Amino acid sequence: MAAKKDPEEPRAQEVETRPVHEGQGGYYAPLVDIYETDQEIVVAADMPGVDPSGVEVKTENGLLTLLGRVTRKSVKDVTQLYEEFVPGDYCRAFSLDADVGEGSVSAEMKDGVLTVRLRKPERARVRRIEVK
């Protein structure tokens, strides 16, 4: 499932997502930014329309899965005049190097952006040494 591309590719790699729930034709892959700080690896995904209760973040066997569900109010008699986006659920998964999955994971959902922070295990954290 996880496609290992080049060994240079750092800790989080994209993995094919497929619909896991019946009745769901497919998911949107949210745009993500992945960056690393001294203490953690952060994955920020754009999921407009999702509130904290609609979010599912899972780490299993080195796989990080982000799922965001949009609550759609069905209104009768609506005419679509112009449509650049169609509301839908979001899903995207990443494979993680073994050491990253071990640390603690936290997630925050604010203004349609899901931010997942994975703490790096002790040995991978950078401790900056001051040079006097």
Among candidates 30, 33, 6, 29, which has minimal Cα distance to 16? 29
Answer yes or no whether residue 63 interacts with another protein by CB under 8 A.
Answer: no
Q: Least distance to another protein from the beta carbon of 43, Å?
A: 8
**Near another protein by CB under 8 A, which window of 15-23, 27-35, 58-66, 100-108?**
27-35
Report the residue number, 123 or 128, with the smaller CB distance to another protein: 128
The C-alpha angle 29, 32, 34, rounded to 5 degrees, equals 140
Which residues in the 42-61 window bind another protein by CB under 8 A? 42, 44, 46-51
CA distances in angstroms from 9 to 4, 5, 14, 76, 124, listed in the order given = 8, 7, 10, 48, 16
Determine whether 30 is exposed, middle or buried from the number of CB atoms within 10 Å of its CB (0-12, 13-18, 19+).
buried
Residue 130 interacts with another protein (CB under 8 A): yes or no: no
Q: Does 32 bind another protein (CB under 8 A)?
A: yes
Angle at CA of residue 102, ends 60 and 126, nearest 5°? 140
The reply on whether position 31 binds another protein by CB under 8 A is: yes
Where does this chain bind another protein (CB under 8 A)? 10, 12, 31-38, 42, 44, 46-51, 75, 77-86, 111-113
